[in-house]
Amino acid sequence: MSVLNGVSYGLLLFMLSAGLTLIFSMMGVLNFAHASFYMLGAYFAYQVSSWSNFWVGLLIAPILVALLGGLFERYVLRKTHKFGHVPELLVTFGLSFVILEIVQLIWGRTSVDYPVPPSMSGSLFKVFDSTFQMYRGFMMLVAILMLVCLFLILKKTRIGLVIQAALTHPDTTEALGHNVPRVFAIVFAAGCALAGLAGVIGGNAFITEPGMAQSVGAIIFVVIVVGGMGSLAGALVASLLIGLMQTFAVGLDWSFAGGLARLGMDITAETPGYSLLKLKLSQVAPILPFLLLVVMLVVRPKGIMGTRDD
Amino acid sequence: MTNALKPIHFKPKNGVRIVVWSAFAFILFALPALFTSSFALTLLCLTGIAAVACMSYNMLLGQTGMLSFGHAVYTGLGTFVAIHAMNKIVGGWAIPMWMIPLVGGVAGLAFGAVLGYVTTRKAGTPFSMITLGVGELVFASALMFPEFFGGEAGINSNRTAGKDMWVNFGLSFGPQLQVYYLIALYLFACTIAMYAFTQTPLGRIANAVRDNPERAEFVGYDTRWVRYLVLMVSSFFAGVAGGLTAVNVEAATADLLHGVRSGSYLLFTFLGGVGFFFGPIIGSVLLVFSLVVLSEYTKAWQLYVGIVFLIMVVYAPGGFSALIMLNLRRVKYGEWRKMRWPYAGMFFFGVFALWGMAAIVEMAYQLKVVEGSGAALTVMKVPLNCQSTASWLIALAVLALGSVGFEYWRRKFVAVWDSGEERIAEAIKKAEAAIV
Amino acid sequence: MKRAIQMSAIAVAMGFAFGGVAHAQNVKIAFIEGLSGPFGGVGQNQLKHFQYAAERFSGKNANSGVNVEVVPLDSKGSPQEALALLKKATDDGIRFVSQGNGSNVAGVLIDAINKHNERNPGKEVVFLNYAAIDPDFTNSKCSPWHFRFDAGVDMKIEGLTNYMKDQKDLKSVYVIGQNYSFGQQVSKFTEEMLKKKRPDIKIVGNELHPLGQVKDFAPYVQKIMAANADAVVTGNWGPDLVLLIRAANAAGFKGRFYTFYAGVIGTPTAVGAAGADRVHMVSYWHPNAELSQIESVYTGFKQKFNEEFYTVAAVNAVRFLVAGVEKAKSTEAVPVARAIAGMKMKGASGEDIEMRASDGALQQAMYIAQWTKAGGAVKFDQENTGFGFKTVRYLEPAMSTMQTSCKMPKR
């Protein structure tokens, strides 16, 4: 059960970080507003599904997000390209502010009611007393489908080849007659669409509110650093690792104090460093990804599957 | 590749320098005479502290090209350690209260040494992401250790505690004015120290690492070591700013460490201008202005700040200080007169465009609260009604008119500007040739 | 409306009883709260509560004509800016300050007001705290200038455990909360008080998780179910509460939830059907309270703003302030503070409420209410969800009274 929960959460993280990694490896741009596109996906899906139903939202919301992403790339981001990577990062940073404000302006500052579709809220199967919701299974299915599609497009199609070529040799690709800026815009839009898709299925599994972007933003950065900058496979491994790690850590009430007590030491509130020793593993579970980041940087700075060591 | 962060060459003579510094000192000294209300004084104090923090941030961003999302970690931890030190004074230790900011500085340095060791392993974009992650880590930990961070309520202290000790020279630090002069003194000292830092070999190499890390590496400098050292120096000054906060606010709470605060350091340092040493000071004025003053006038202040930021990154990546300096250069070469009309035209239509945009934003916000406070509102003294079509049409028309006019004059302006740029470049070339 | 007039009549009668008619005076409250930014929605909503309370219980609706004017100041939730705004308020001659969202801001304000009053005699300021419920504020950090109109964490849990001890079918309880002072206090008090009142109830888990960091509560719910808990006590609020309840619903957890903030704006919408008949809330009032005397305030507020009214503390703060000014015949902070301390009046449920002089904590009644489908006793639903709160237990003020360790300095 924990494995399933961990994997489904990990796969959602992967959907989010896949788009980010794709954009980063292609264009060298770290899209700070990536999580904001995730949020937009959730809100669009909420809006569309309140007019018609969830399935229409699932289809339309990512397309809308991709459109916005493409427009942003074409009319704003491209203009800063000549200034270098720092202004590019800054411009997406500014965008995340503006998106947040506009979302609050349109949909308000509190959460909206974006429910799991009734056909999906039933139980898929039961382990002991606890049920595994059908929707979580659906989440995993979408993520895996997306992974397969992404793989096939990148490896098997012509456009995938052009993208890979533009990634490593933009000038040569341009010389061969391909419109590299347009490829960039498409990639950026596609990356945003993936974030939007994650928003559509993450927004109702969890919660759709203005703080949702900020709360996942930091985690997906951890995923792509730990996985290795620009490596899709690395992002997959890191997402699953983080998903499983967090899920399992919650179940473990280990603490240093408990461990030492078992070794026969007397740990009380007066022991120096008690506040650190008494922390249980389950209490720190949500910040484990950040600890993992620090450990990874000390041990293997290029990440799990990273090739570059800058 | 033209690097947006590269400063424009500007080298005043020594005499000028003395005048500039004395003027700075005089302004700091005289400001309280101009702003007498205690609220204004509070704002001045906040601005002074923000100036130290933004300048320390610019050491990273402007001088070394390190875009950090976690600067509040160092200012915040500086505040916490300083508060604990202040409570030691309450407990009877003979530390002079005016040294508390230095305690914060040393704390900042220490945390910079520990955390910076990890974050500076990477440069560029990965560095940014890692600082974000480490910032989250520190913030989340702060709430987990109430023994040190005081939980949600934070930790309080009392700056008047050591008033009877001879080390404080009879200053109680009770009145806000005394605190202001303490902050002004530290601001002045830190400004000099940070300026001096830019002139040291390390400061110069930092510029090299920013502009071309490969070359710096090739010449034999360990870029990672340079980043690490600069980060430590920067976090020292950030810690000083944190220590000043401790004296000013007499309290430390976990929100000091939050990513939002780091974000606003980044945002306003950039708006002030990272290419100039004094840019962050402008940024800190903007920071306090928008957070405290602008937010009084409009609920949409964050949206305005965000949009201004976006426009600046795209069109004026040098920030406000670069805009000022570029125009000063025009004046110097006698080119400014030619731009009077384009400026006037842009300003005239810009006001309309701005009004139209502000009206639309404000009406949209008003729509959200229309049930409670009615549909009527005024935008810059013009009465509007967010539920009437006429108001919306007027706003849209003014926006359209303003934008078209603005764009027309902007094109003229760009033409005049570019031709002026060519003439200035020629003039500089001639002047250099004359020297040779 | 009729009831409201009765209420203000009662309040005014208090004023008469203590000494004649006060002149029609204007009192300003500086409402320092995060009105923009992430928690701006809650702040704006609370501001409306205060404005509406001032409209209904002061000025022409108070016999003495004492008018309360609410001056909103946006702190963006930051203690530092709250302090700057406190300066602004005192500059402008405002002597009464109100705040509530976040004990961090409240703590800083209490401390700053203590110092301000010490350093600026004659310009004292009084703090009307409507929602910051750290028990320290009425115990170790108590201040003569601070009055709290909400019930402290300790009082709420005293009330909750007094209810829980009578639930015979309750065998095991799981405590989960956010790892910061409030969550830690909930966990500490629940465990202590339950142990005392019902030693047979097993605390099968006591969990703290980082505030606002958990995205997926499924593993926590797994743990709760594995521990065979009949009920969960949680101090969570906002997204953390919604996520927990939704995850529990998805995993098929059947136990009850005892919460504190299920009624806060936005939460009912997000909880929706997922929490039906399982989510309970401890509060000093709810819209369907049978004894409620302020139904007209609730409906009037909803009509005016199309938002839920739930912060009775705002109403009480305004009423006590008006009565205090009437009694003291002054709008200066010190005499009004002395007048408010120890003042008694009728509460929102018609009970006798008292602003205890020894610690500045309002003693009032408490409800345990259940989130359930609207209809019958559940007259009003929340945020048009079709669900509302139903009283499962009314607790007299005495049921949640706590001893205080406060050594109150002279006012």
Closest CB to A111 among C222, C225, C239: C239
Q: Which residues contact residue B245 at a Cβ distance below 8 angstroms, ignoring those fewer than 6 apart?
A: B49, B75, B78, B79, B82, B104, B252, B256, C80
Q: Give the integer Cα–Cα distance in Å for C294 and C313.
A: 12
**Mean pLDDT in each 10-residue stretch from start to end of chain B (436 residues)?**
46 73 91 85 92 95 92 95 92 85 96 93 86 89 81 80 72 84 95 93 92 88 93 97 92 87 92 90 91 80 90 88 86 80 88 89 78 71 82 91 90 86 84 74
CATH number at residue C116: 3.40.50.2300
Per-residue model confidence (pLDDT) at position A286: 76
Q: pLDDT higher for B64 or A1?
A: B64
Q: Which of A260-264, B59-63, C278-282 has the lowest mean pLDDT?
A: A260-264
Q: With cut-offs at 50, 70 and 90, classify the pLDDT of residue C15.
A: very low
Question: Residue A279 falls within a domain, yes or no?
Answer: no
Cβ(B240)–Cβ(B102) under 8 Å?
Answer: yes
What value does the mean pLDDT take over residues A215-229? 86
Same domain, C45 and C131: yes
Task: List the domain range (segments joined by +) for residue C273.
Answer: 154-283+365-400
- For the record, the structure tokens of C96 come out as 């009464």
Q: Which residues of A touch B130 (CB under 8 A)?
A: 225, 293, 297
Per-residue model confidence (pLDDT) at position C216: 86
Per-residue model confidence (pLDDT) at position B118: 87
Per-residue model confidence (pLDDT) at position A68: 95
Mean pLDDT of all residues belonging to chain C: 87
Cβ(B64)–Cβ(B209) under 8 Å?
Answer: yes
Q: How many domains does chain C have?
A: 2
Is A247's CB within 8 Å of C219's CB? yes
Question: Residue C410 falls within a domain, yes or no?
Answer: no
Q: With cut-offs at 50, 70 and 90, classify the pLDDT of residue C16.
A: very low
Question: Residue C146 falls within a domain, yes or no?
Answer: yes
Same domain, C64 and C133: yes
Q: How far is C208 from chain A (nearest CA, A)?
A: 6
Is C80's CB within 8 Å of B46's CB? yes
Cβ(B339)–Cβ(B409) under 8 Å?
Answer: no
Per-residue model confidence (pLDDT) at position A273: 64
Residue C173 three-state SS: strand
pLDDT in tens, C202-258: 999 888 888 777 888 988 998 899 889 999 999 998 888 988 998 888 888 889 999
Q: How far is B68 from chain C (nearest CA, A)?
A: 21
Same domain, C272 and C343: no
Q: How far is A79 from chain B (nearest CA, A)?
A: 6
> How many whole angstroms from its chain centre is CA A110?
22
Q: Which phi and psi (to 5°) does residue B92 adopt? A: 115, 0
pLDDT in tens, A72-93: 999 999 888 888 888 888 999 9
Q: How far is B126 from chain A (nearest CA, A)?
A: 7
Q: Which residues contact residue C65 at a Cβ distance below 8 angstroms, ignoring those fewer than 6 apart?
A: C23, C24, C25, C59
Q: Strand C352-355 to strand C362-363: parallel, antiparallel, or no bridges (unpaired)?
A: antiparallel
Per-residue model confidence (pLDDT) at position A268: 61
Give the N- to C-terminal CA distance of chain A in Å, as an integer: 39
**Which sequence spans correspond to the domains of chain B?**
14-290, 339-435
Task: List the domain range (segments joined by +) for residue A82.
Answer: 2-216
Is A283's CB within 8 Å of C208's CB? yes
Q: Which residues of A touch C252 (CB under 8 A)?
A: 123, 126, 129-131
Q: How many domains does chain A have?
A: 1
Residue C279 pairs in a beta bridge with C257
Same domain, C378 and C321: no
Q: Strand C344-346 to strand A130-133: parallel, antiparallel, or no bridges (unpaired)?
A: unpaired
For residue A209, which of A5, A39, A1, A87 has the smallest C-alpha distance? A39
The answer, yes or no, to whether residue C317 has pLDDT greater than 90, is yes
What value does the mean pLDDT take over residues C185-206? 92
* Fold classified for B14-290: ABC transporter involved in vitamin B12 uptake, BtuC (1.10.3470)
Q: Give the integer Cα–Cα distance in Å for A98 and B156.
A: 35
Closest CB to B1 among A76, A84, A102: A84
Q: Which phi and psi (to 5°) does residue C22 adopt? A: -85, 155
Chain A contact present for B325, CB below 8 A: no
Question: Residue C13 falls within a domain, yes or no?
Answer: yes
Preferred mutation among A106, A109, A126 to probe C, highest tally of C CBs within 10 A: A109
Per-residue model confidence (pLDDT) at position A271: 61
Closest CB to C265 among A110, A207, A248: A110
Interface of A with C in 250-279 (CB under 8 A): 250-251
Same domain, C256 and C390: yes
Is C218's CB within 8 Å of A131's CB? no
Same domain, C112 and C9: yes
Q: The dihedral of CA C84, C87, C92, C96: what is its sign?
A: positive
Per-residue model confidence (pLDDT) at position C12: 46
% chain A with pLDDT above 90: 25
Q: With cut-offs at 50, 70 and 90, classify the pLDDT of residue C332.
A: very high
Closest CB to C91 among B38, B151, B260: B38
Is C107's CB within 8 Å of B156's CB? yes
Q: Which residues of A touch B137 (CB under 8 A)?
A: 287, 290-291, 293-294
Interface A-C, measured as beta-carbon pairs within 8 A, has a size of 118
Same domain, C131 and C241: no
Closest CB to A211 among C38, C179, C225: C38
Burial of B378 (0-12, 13-18, 19+ CB in 10 A): exposed
For residue B352, which of B330, B309, B382 has the smallest C-alpha distance? B382
| Amino acid at residue number B387 | Q
Is B303's CB within 8 Å of A108's CB? no
Question: Residue C411 falls within a domain, yes or no?
Answer: no
Distances (CA, A) of B37 to B42, B57, C92, C143, C283: 9, 30, 10, 27, 42
Question: Which residue of chain C has the CA closest to B49?
Answer: C80
The single residue listed with the structure tokens 């009046």 is C345
Q: pLDDT higher for C70 or C11?
A: C70
The answer, yes or no, to whether residue A142 has pLDDT greater than 80, is yes
Question: Residue C379 falls within a domain, yes or no?
Answer: yes
Identify which of A128-132, A164-168, B174-178 has the greatest average pLDDT: B174-178
Q: Give the integer Cα–Cα distance in Å for C185 and C164.
A: 18
Query: How many residues are present in chain C?
Result: 411
Q: Which residues of B touch C44 (CB under 8 A)?
A: 369
Per-residue model confidence (pLDDT) at position C2: 46
Per-residue model confidence (pLDDT) at position A283: 76
Q: Which residues of C touch A284 (CB under 8 A)?
A: 210
Nearest-10 crossing angle of helices B38-58, B176-199: 20
Q: With cut-offs at 50, 70 and 90, classify the pLDDT of residue A128.
A: low
Neighbours of chain A (3+ CB pairs under 8 A): B, C
Per-residue model confidence (pLDDT) at position B259: 86
Helix (H) or strand (E) holding C390: strand C387-395
- For the record, the structure tokens of C249 come out as 């619903």
Q: Which residues of A touch C41 (CB under 8 A)?
A: 104, 108-110
Instruction: Count Cβ atoms below 10 Å from residue B343 Cβ, excluding itself.
Output: 15
Q: Which residues of C touch A133 (CB under 8 A)?
A: 250-251
Residue C362 three-state SS: strand
Interface of B with A in 259-298 (CB under 8 A): 259, 263, 266-267, 270
Cβ(B359)–Cβ(B395) under 8 Å?
Answer: yes
Closest CB to B130 among A93, A214, A297: A297
Question: Residue C407 falls within a domain, yes or no?
Answer: no
